[in-house]
Each structure stands twice: as structure tokens, then as C-alpha cells.
């Protein structure tokens, strides 16, 4: 029998075409390819549990309990950069490799972060609303800023953080970053400044852009205290993971005017849950869509298919994040 590769889509926000057209181009007749739509891993049926490889989209959680039910899985591939939806420790204990696709949407996410920053600095949405009310009063004039007078602060100078930093630099921002895991000299190589502590970065920043993974260290990295260190005129942009920012803290800061604005592609416990959350002033929210473009999704699907095919062939894997290889 052919090995089986199953693509798992999240029922609450499906992203696939249901036909695996891109995946089948890569995998061909070397494995059976199935598509399943699930809310969580409690809905994995026998065909999923007997698969040799899983390609998991978006926010579908793959928990310790779900991993324990897998019968012959060799790899779980998270179709995206983040892999916090997969219990990587449980997978390691069961000898299952976990891989991600870290480079597919670098340009898109960096572009999206800059778009949110520009919308905030130039107050595009309030100006649009004013113009469409047939008025011409620039009520938000106190929030309109000259970019070259502002510091663009980046948390996490990985692939996407670097791309966003270079874009901000090209626009005239003064760019500074905080990343405790990078060696000395990175700031010189990229031509930007470095903050040695998160507190230093926050105190200097006018636009804070988050580009770090979500893990135990970064969960609620930005909460009440951190937001209080920002200038009241500062803007916050998050295209990383929602729970890097404590949702109640940032919404409260916006409501009380302690923060000038926020552009969030991701929010903790997304999507927004109430009318009150959605009505928060000076808030732009997009639909966890920063990664999204026709080109990026094709690139991502081709990469995850290549990893899945290598796994069922017993070949070396790309982008392993939990230390398991075979």
C-alpha cells in the first residue's frame, strides 16, 4: 500500500481548496493524499490516525492527546512559520518530527507590518472615514507623523524582522531592534541600531513592530507594564502571534488613551470575541492575513509537500523544530 499524507485544515477558518492541487503536483503517485477539515485533533478519523505524514494548516491544535493516538506518523508539518499549535515535546517523545515552513511569507508579512505602520502614522482609516462622511476636517492631525522623526522598534530580528527593519529604514524611519539571541555586529551588518534590553527599546520607540515566535518566554511579552513604557503617542504593530501581546492590556491602553493606536494582524484568542472588543478606538485589525498572497500560499504548499514526501521516503527533512530526524 502507498504511504498516506493527510492535509488538515481548520474548520473555523479553512484555507485550502480541498483538492490538494498544489500538493499533488509535488507528491504525484508516490503517496496517497487526503484532505480533512477539523476543529481540533479530537476529530481525527482513522484515515488521519493511520497517516505517515500530516500537513496542518493554520490554528488546528495538535495536542499531546491527539499525538498519542497517531499510529505511524513520521512527521507533522505546520503549514506556516509558527508551530505553537503543535505540542512539539509530545511529538518528540513519540519520535515524530515537527517541521515548519519558515521562509514562505517573509515578504508578505514584512510588507503587511509596514502597511499597518503607515496606516497608523498617516491615519489613513480615520481620514478615509472623514472623507466618506462628506467632510474635510482633519480631526486626527495631532496623530499625523513625519516618518524620519520616528523610531521604528523591532522585537525579533529574524527573517521577517530583518525584512521589516530594512523596509522601515528605506522609508526614513530610525530603526532599532531588540533580540537577545543575536550575536554582536548584526546591527552593523544591517545598518540599524541595537537596544540591549526590551525596556530600552520600548522607551525609545514610536512604532513597535513584533516579529518573535510565541513560546513560554514570549507569551504576554507585551503587557500592562511594557505598554506603560511606550510613549502615549506610540503605535504598536503585531504580525507575529497574538498572545505575544496581552489582549486585555492593549485594548485597555487604547480605550484609555495611553496608546495612540495599534495595528494587529493577530490577537490573543483570535478572532475578536465581542462587539466591545471590535469597537476599541484607534485599532486596526486584519484577519491573520499578513502571510497571505497567491504566491506565498503556493510556495508554502510546495515546501510542506516536499517535506512530507521526504518523510514517507525516509529521507532527510527540512526545517525540523523539535530535534527529531531520521
Residues that are catalytic: 241, 270, 288
What region, left, alpha or beta, does residue 314 occupy, with left being phi > 0 and alpha being psi -120 to 50 degrees? left
What is the separation of C-alpha 266 from the centre of its chain, rounded to a whole number of angstroms?
7
Give the sheet arrangement for strand 32-38, strand by strand.
32-38, 4-10, 53-57, 75-79, 97-99
What are phi and psi for residue 163, nearest 5 degrees? -60, -40
User: In 3-state terms, what secondary structure has residue 216?
Assistant: coil
CB 24 within 8 A of CB 33: yes
Beta-sheet strands, E only, within the chain? 4-10, 32-38, 53-57, 75-79, 97-99, 151-155, 174-178, 193-194, 207-210, 235-238, 261-264, 283-285
DSSP string, 252-301: HHHHTTSSSEEEES--TTSS--SHHHHT-TTEEE--S-TT--HHHHHHHH
What is the separation of C-alpha 35 from the centre of its chain, rounded to a whole number of angstroms?
24
What is the separation of C-alpha 24 from the centre of its chain, rounded to a whole number of angstroms?
26
Question: What would the grid cell of residue 275 be?
Answer: 462587539
CB 60 within 8 A of CB 30: no
Beta bridge pairs of residue 6: 34, 54
Amino acid at each position: 500500500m502507498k504511504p498516506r499524507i493527510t492535509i488538515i485544515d481548520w474548520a473555523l477558518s479553512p484555507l485550502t481548496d480541498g483538492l490538494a492541487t498544489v500538493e499533488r503536483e509535488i507528491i504525484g503517485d508516490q503517496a496517497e493524499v487526503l484532505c480533512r477539515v477539523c476543529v481540533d485533533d479530537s476529530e481525527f478519523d482513522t484515515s488521519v490516525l493511520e497517516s505517515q505524514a500530516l500537513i496542518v494548516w493554520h490554528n488546528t491544535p495538535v495536542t499531546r492527546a491527539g499525538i498519542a493516538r497517531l499510529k505511524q506518523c513520521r512527521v507533522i508539518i505546520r503549514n506556516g512559520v509558527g508551530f505553537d499549535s503543535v505540542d512539539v515535546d509530545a511529538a518528540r517523545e513519540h519520535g515524530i518530527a515537527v517541521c515548519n515552513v519558515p521562509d514562505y511569507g517573509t515578504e508578505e508579512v514584512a510588507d503587511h507590518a509596514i502597511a499597518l505602520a503607515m496606516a497608523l502614522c498617516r491615519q489613513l482609516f480615520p481620514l478615509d472615514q472623514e472623507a466618506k462622511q462628506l467632510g474635510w476636517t482633519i480631526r486626527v492631525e495631532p496623530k499625523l507623523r513625519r516618518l524620519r522623526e520616528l523610531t521604528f522598534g523591532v522585537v525579533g530580528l529574524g527573517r521577517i524582522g530583518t525584512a521589516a527593519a530594512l523596509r522601515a529604514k528605506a522609508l526614513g524611519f530610525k530603526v532599532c531592534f531588540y533580540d537577545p539571541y543575536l550575536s554582536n555586529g548584526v546591527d552593523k551588518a544591517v545598518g540599524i541600531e541595537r537596544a540591549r534590553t526590551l525596556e530600552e527599546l520600548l522607551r525609545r520607540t514610536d512604532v513597535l513592530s513584533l516579529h518573535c515566535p510565541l513560546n513560554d518566554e514570549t507569551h504576554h511579552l507585551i503587557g500592562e507594564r511594557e505598554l506603560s513604557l511606550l510613549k502615549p503617542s506610540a503605535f504598536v504593530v503585531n504580525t507575529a502571534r497574538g498572545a505575544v501581546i496581552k489582549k486585555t492590556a492593549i485594548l485597555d491602553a487604547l480605550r484609555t488613551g495611553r496608546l495612540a493606536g495599534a495595528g494587529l494582524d493577530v490577537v490573543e484568542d483570535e478572532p475578536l470575541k465581542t462587539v466591545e472588543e471590535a469597537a476599541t478606538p484607534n485599532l486596526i485589525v486584519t484577519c491573520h492575513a499578513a502571510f497571505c498572497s497567491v504566491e506565498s500560499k503556493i510556495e508554502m504548499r510546495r515546501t510542506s509537500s516536499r517535506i512530507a514526501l521526504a518523510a514517507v521516503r525516509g529521507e532527510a527533512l527540512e526545517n525540523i523544530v523539535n530535534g527529531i530526524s531520521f
